[in-house]
Amino acid sequence: MKTYSIALIPGDGIGVPVIDAAWQVLEAAAARANFKLEAKRFPWSCGFYKETGSMMPADGIQILRGHDAILLGAVGWPAAVPDSVSLHGLLLPIRKAFVQYANIRPHRLLPGVEGPLKSGGFDILCIRENTEGEYSGAGGRVHVGTPDEVAVETSVFTRKGVERILRFGFEQAQLRRKQLASVTKSNAQRYSMVFWDEITEALSAEYPDVEVKSYHIDAMAARMVLAPESLDVVVASNLFGDILTDLGAAIQGGLGFAASANICPDRTSPSMFEPVHGSAPDIAHLGIANPIAAIWSAAMMLDHLGQAAAAANIIKAVETATARGVGTRPGQDRTDDITAAVLSALT
Ligand code: NAD
Ligand code: IPM
Ligand code: MN
């Protein structure tokens, strides 16, 4: 029987219960589709940092490399460990080391979910550059603590990095409604963002079947609220994509519904699947975290592993549950009840 080895990193806060939920659904879906998933659980988290002084062991990346995919909950517990330490010690190095340059985040309303907008008919695929740009980590501080202090955080955009994420966007658009929105801020940022616009323009000749439009990030933020149905595939830099996808989560009913996949497109290393949301310290331990974002991310993982039918079964089960109202009442629906409803809707 085909067997996949999955590295589970539940992480902090609600990462733990939502990964438990996703794993239950994954196992049930795999059993129905005649393949096997083997989990290896890694307790890497802020608690692990408190015990060991690091977010993951020194050979953590090597350990993960041996798996077919990684399923991650959330990282960060700012009351115990500064975010600048925890995220740079676990989540961000994984994305970079495994060249997971395409972060895919779908935004649409599941049946029964009421978003905040009048318009419900949107289906957006955000593609976020995931390895460079504003998250390059280049920078520093001088004259620390003095009135002359200066802090610099340099965005690094490489031709290779920009070209590959834009190509990925064009290819995704070809599989969908053939519209690509490329997001920059080239009116103000005249080096990196003009560079991005130029590459978009040059590549568009190679994808004549895709209609490409360039938007500034500020205008795109407004468009996602006012006319989200006008958008198909949206491609943006690391930071712009980060912000737009919390906005996307908001219009799809909240962070509890927003899934994501950190893809290494050439498959030279494992891809990682995780909900868009964080550890939600404000509701951790209350038993009310919505596991749907994590379950949807798990379905994206199965799809990536070549188990499209099992992935579709999970998505259909989630839709059956939400159509009945399950998971659509934030603060009232319990994690366990939502998980049970999805499990019982699997076919
Ligand atoms: P957050 O996403 O954890 O929470 C924002 C708000 O959304 C909170 O009110 C929370 O209760 C709510 N929320 C989030 N997910 C939910 C769910 N599944 N069900 C119901 N409500 C949900 O963002 P934050 O508060 O800015 O960050 C908390 C910590 O998580 C920080 O350490 C941050 O750096 C980290 N973080 C990690 C990731 C990640 O690991 N991928 C992503 C975002 C934030
Ligand atoms: C996300 C998160 C991370 C990011 C943080 C926690 C570093 O917000 O996955 O969207 O900005 O990429
Ligand atoms: Mn984010």
Q: Is the CB of 290 under 6 A from ligand 1?
A: yes
Note whether 89 and 54 are within 8 A (CB).
Answer: yes
Note whether 76 and 278 are within 8 A (CB).
Answer: yes
Total number of domains constituting the chain: 2
Note whether 169 and 199 are within 8 A (CB).
Answer: no
Dihedral sign (CA 266, 268, 269, 270): positive
Q: Is the CB of 105 under 6 A from ligand 1?
A: no
- The ligand 2 atom at the shortest distance from the C-alpha of residue 92 is 7
Q: Are residues 126 and 223 in the same domain?
A: yes
- H helices of 150-291, where? 159-175, 192-204, 217-226, 238-251
Q: Are residues 263 and 246 in the same domain?
A: no
* Residue 109 Cα distances to 14, 203, 252, 322, angstroms: 22, 31, 5, 10
Examine residue 148 and state whether it is found in any structural domain, yes or no: yes
User: Distance (Å, rounded) from C-alpha 182 to C-alpha 232?
Assistant: 11
Q: Are residues 126 and 237 in the same domain?
A: yes
Q: Out of 197, 224, 251, pick the residue that ends a domain.
A: 251
Phi, psi (deg, nearest 5) at residue 262: -100, 105
Q: Are residues 125 and 27 in the same domain?
A: no
Examine residue 293 and state whether it is found in any structural domain, yes or no: yes
Q: Are residues 173 and 295 in the same domain?
A: no
Q: Are residues 339 and 219 in the same domain?
A: no
Q: Is the CB of 76 under 6 A from ligand 1?
A: yes
Q: Are residues 303 and 342 in the same domain?
A: yes
Measured at the alpha carbon of residue 158, what is the angle toward residues 153 and 161, in degrees to the nearest 5? 110
Measured at the alpha carbon of residue 311, what is the angle toward residues 310 and 312, in degrees to the nearest 5? 90
Nearest CA to ligand 1 atom 44: 278
Determine the distance from the C-alpha atom of residue 16 to the mean position of all C-alpha atoms in its chain, rounded to a whole number.
Answer: 17
pLDDT score, position 292:
98
Q: Are residues 2 and 92 in the same domain?
A: yes
294: nearest Cα among 261, 341, 264, 263: 261
Ion ligand 3 residues within 5 Å by Cβ: 242
Identity of the amino acid at 166: L
49 CA to centre of ligand 1 in angstroms? 19
55: nearest Cα among 22, 82, 26, 15: 82
pLDDT score, position 309:
98
Q: Is the CB of 263 under 6 A from ligand 1?
A: no
Q: Are residues 50 and 85 in the same domain?
A: yes
pLDDT score, position 118:
87
In the numeric block, which tokens belong to residue 298?
């798990």
User: Distance (Å, rounded) from C-alpha 318 to C-alpha 313?
Assistant: 9
Q: How many CB atoms lie within 10 A of CB 284?
A: 18
pLDDT digits (tens, 9 = 90+) for 246-301: 999 999 999 999 999 999 999 999 999 999 999 999 999 999 999 999 999 999 99
What's the whole-model pTM score?
Answer: 0.97
Note whether 37 and 22 are within 8 A (CB).
Answer: no
Provide the annotated active-site residues.
135, 185, 218, 242, 246
Q: Out of 183, 216, 251, pick the residue that ends a domain.
A: 251
| 3-class secondary-structure state, position 62 | helix
Q: How many CB atoms lie within 10 A of CB 306?
A: 11
Note whether 194 and 130 are within 8 A (CB).
Answer: no
Examine residue 110 and state whether it is found in any structural domain, yes or no: no
Binned at pLDDT 50, 70 and 90, residue 323 comes out as very high
Range of the domain at 299: 1-102+259-347
Q: Is the CB of 12 under 6 A from ligand 2?
A: no
Q: Are residues 282 and 157 in the same domain?
A: no
76: left (phi over 0), alpha (psi -120 to 50) or beta: left
Dihedral sign (CA 83, 89, 91, 95): positive
280 CA to centre of ligand 1 in angstroms? 4
pLDDT digits (tens, 9 = 90+) for 187-240: 999 999 999 999 999 999 999 999 999 999 999 999 999 999 999 999 999 999
pLDDT score, position 229:
97
Examine residue 109 and state whether it is found in any structural domain, yes or no: no
285 CA to centre of ligand 1 in angstroms? 14
Ligand number, closest to the Cα atom of 87: 2
- The ligand 2 atom at the shortest distance from the C-alpha of residue 246 is 10
Q: Out of 213, 230, 251, pick the residue that ends a domain.
A: 251
275: nearest Cα among 288, 263, 292, 289: 292
244 CA to centre of ligand 3 in angstroms? 9
276 CA to centre of ligand 1 in angstroms? 8
36: left (phi over 0), alpha (psi -120 to 50) or beta: beta
* 180 Cβ neighbours under 8 A, 6+ residues apart: 169, 170, 173, 207, 210, 211, 212, 213, 232, 233, 234, 235
Phi, psi (deg, nearest 5) at residue 263: -100, 135
Query: For position 39, which CATH number holds?
Result: 3.40.718.10
Q: Is the CB of 277 under 6 A from ligand 1?
A: yes
pLDDT digits (tens, 9 = 90+) for 105-140: 999 999 999 999 987 899 999 999 999 999 999 999
Range with the poorest average pLDDT among 10-19, 77-86, 111-120: 111-120
Q: Is the CB of 87 under 6 A from ligand 2?
A: yes
Examine residue 107 and state whether it is found in any structural domain, yes or no: no
Examine residue 111 and state whether it is found in any structural domain, yes or no: no
Q: Are residues 247 and 264 in the same domain?
A: no
ipTM higher than 0.90?
yes
| CB burial readout 201-228, b (16+ within 10 A) else e | eebbeebeebebebbbbeebbebbeeeb
Q: Are residues 211 and 134 in the same domain?
A: yes
Identity of the amino acid at 93: P
Examine residue 281 and state whether it is found in any structural domain, yes or no: yes
pLDDT digits (tens, 9 = 90+) for 149-188: 999 999 999 999 999 999 999 999 999 999 999 999 999 9
